[in-house]
Amino acid sequence: MDRIRIRGGAQLNGVIPISGAKNAALPLMTASLLTGEPLELRNVPRLADVNLLLRILGNHGVDHTVTGKRPGQTTETGQTIRLDASSVIDTCAPYELVSRMRASFWVIAPLVARFGEARVSMPGGCAIGTRPVDLLLMALERMGVQIDVEGGYVLARAPRGLKGAEIEFPKVTVSGTHVALMAATLADGTTVIENAAREPEVADLASCLSKMGAKISGAGTSRIVVDGVARLHGTTHAVMSDRIETGTYAIAVAMTGGDVVLENTRPEYLQQALDVLTQVGAEVTTTNEGIRVYRNGSGLRAVDVTTDPYPGFPTDLQAQFMALMTRADGISRIRETIFENRFMHVQELARLGAQIRLDGDAAIVEGVEKLKGAPVMATDLRASVSLVIAGLAAEGETEIHRVYHLDRGFEALEAKLGRCGAEIQRISG
C-alpha cells in the first residue's frame, strides 16, 4: 500500500494549476444517463473516484472514450471524457460498486427519470457520518416515484414517468439537490426545489443540463425551478475548477509561508475561506491567472470558524484549516455543523504534537510553537490532506499511510507541491 513521506520546513513558491472539481465532475458524469446522445466533458480530473464512476456507468452500458495525451499536456491537464448512454442495458447499480463511493447512488435519478425504473444499492463511502439518503428518496417520491427497500437495495419505479412537484428540503442537501435537479429535467410539468443547495457545483450541473435542453432557472439560489422536457440531447461542457483543491493549497501556503499563484480558479467560489485566511495572516489577491497567496515572516493568528452550507465556510476545508490552526498563536474554536463524525483527523494531528480537544460539535485548538514529524494514518479524503499540510510544517519526517484516500480527490498532489519546493515523495508498496 502506497504511503507519502514528507520532510517539513520548506516554504512553497511557484505556480499550482487547479484541476477540475471532483464534486462537479461526478454529477456531470451521472447526467450522461439522461440522454441517448453523447455528452463530452472537458477538464475532468484524473482521480480514483472518476475511474470508479466510469466503471459504474459502464456496468449500465454507457460507453466512454478518454482523449489521449496531447503535446504539451501534463498529468494535471484535465482529461476529456465522452460518454454515450444510447444503449443502456441494465438499470441495476450493484453493491460491490456503489458501496465504494456514495456519489454513485445518484444514478438512481437519471435511471428512473429516463427508463422508469432503477435498482440501486444503498451507498457506502467515507466514514465521516451517516449521510442518509432519505432526503434524496423523498425528492423522488414527491415526483411520483414508488420507493421500496429490499435486501439493501432501493427499488425505484415510475412506469408512467415522473411528475413535476413542489420539493422543500428540511435542510440543505447537495446530494438531494443534484438528484432532484436531474430527475426534474425529464418530469412532466414544473418542479420547484425549495431550500436548494447553492454550491457552485450545483450551478455547474444546471449549466450543463441547460445546454442539453433542460429548462432551469434559479440554480445557485435556494429556489430552483425546472420545467420538464420530453428529452435531452448531447452537448460539450467544461468542468468548473475545484474550489476545495484551491482552498487546500491556499491553506498549505499559509501554513508553510511562501508565495504561490493558484492558476485557473476563481475566488468567488470560496470567498469566505479566503477571507478567513486573510484574518489568519496570509495575503490573498486576485490575479489574471487566478489567486495569489503569500505569507513570509508574519505569524499565524488563531481564528474561529463554523462550517456551513455555501456560501459559508466549507466542511471540506475544515480538516485542512484545523491543521493550520495547530501552529497559530492563540486558541481557535472550529465548529462542524454538516457532518457529525468529521473529527477523526484529530488523533492523528495529535501524533504530530497538536493540542486539540473535542467539545461536542467543536474542536478547541491551542496553537503550538512547532510540530514534529511522525507516522500517521489517513482516515478519509480531507483528513488525509490535512496531515499533508501539517507534515509540510513539521520538523523532521512525516509518513502518511493509507494515501489511497488522497487519490480519490487530489490530482498529482505530490507533483504540484514538489514543484513549489516541498520535499515530498510517494513510496509504493
Domains delineated in the chain: 3-19+241-427 (3.65.10.10), 22-238 (3.65.10.10)
Q: Nearest-CA neighbor of 21 among 49, 63, 55, 40?
A: 49
The answer to whether 314 touches 201, Cβ cutoff 8 Å, is no
pLDDT digits (tens, 9 = 90+) for 320-371: 999 999 999 999 999 999 977 778 899 999 999 999 999 999 999 999 999 9
pLDDT at 127: 41
Cα 225-222-165 angle, rounded to 5 deg? 35
Q: Which three cell numbers stand for residue 350?
A: 495529535
> Which residues belong to the annotated binding site?
22-23, 102, 131-135, 316, 338
The C-alpha cell 507534515 sits at: 391
> Which residues belong to the annotated binding site for phosphoenolpyruvate?
22-23
pLDDT at 360: 92
Write the CB contacts of 96 (distance below 8 Å, at least 6 apart in sequence).
none
> Annotated catalytic residue: which of 92, 126, 208, 420?
126
pLDDT at 126: 41
Q: What is the total residue count of the chain? A: 429
Q: Which three cell numbers stand for residue 181?
A: 435537479
Q: Which residues of the chain have pLDDT under 50?
A: 71-72, 125-131
> Which residues belong to the annotated binding site for UDP-N-acetyl-alpha-D-glucosamine?
102, 131-135, 316, 338
CA distance 367 to 365: 6
Would you call 126 a catalytic residue per the annotation?
yes
Write the CB contacts of 154 (distance below 8 Å, at least 6 apart in sequence).
108, 118, 119, 120, 121, 122, 133, 137, 147, 148
CA distance 111 to 31: 10
The answer to whether 44 touches 80, Cβ cutoff 8 Å, is yes
* 3-state DSSP of the chain: CCEEEEECCCCEEEEEECCECHHHHHHHHHHHHHCCCCEEEEEECCCHHHHHHHHHHHHHCCEEEECCCCCCCCCCCCEEEEEECCCCCCCEECHHHHCCCHHHHHHHHHHHHHHCEEEEECCCCCCCCCCCCHHHHHHHHHCCCEEEEECCEEEEECCCCCECCEEECCCCCHHHHHHHHHHHCCCECEEEEECCCCCHHHHHHHHHHHHCCCEEECECECEEEEECCCCCCCEEEECCECHHHHHHHHHHHHHHCEEEEEECCCHHHHHHHHHHHHHHCCEEEECCCEEEEEECCCCCECCCEEECCCCCECHHHHHHHHHHHCCCECEEEEECCCCCCCCCCHHHHHHCCCEEEEECCEEEEECCCCCECCEEECCCHHHHHHHHHHHHHCECEEEEECCHHHHHHCCCHHHHHHCCCCEEEEECC
CA distance 338 to 199: 14
CA dihedral 417, 420, 421, 426 (to 10 degrees): 20
pLDDT at 76: 57
Q: Which three cell numbers stand for residue 361?
A: 460539535
CA dihedral 188, 194, 197, 203 (to 10 degrees): 50
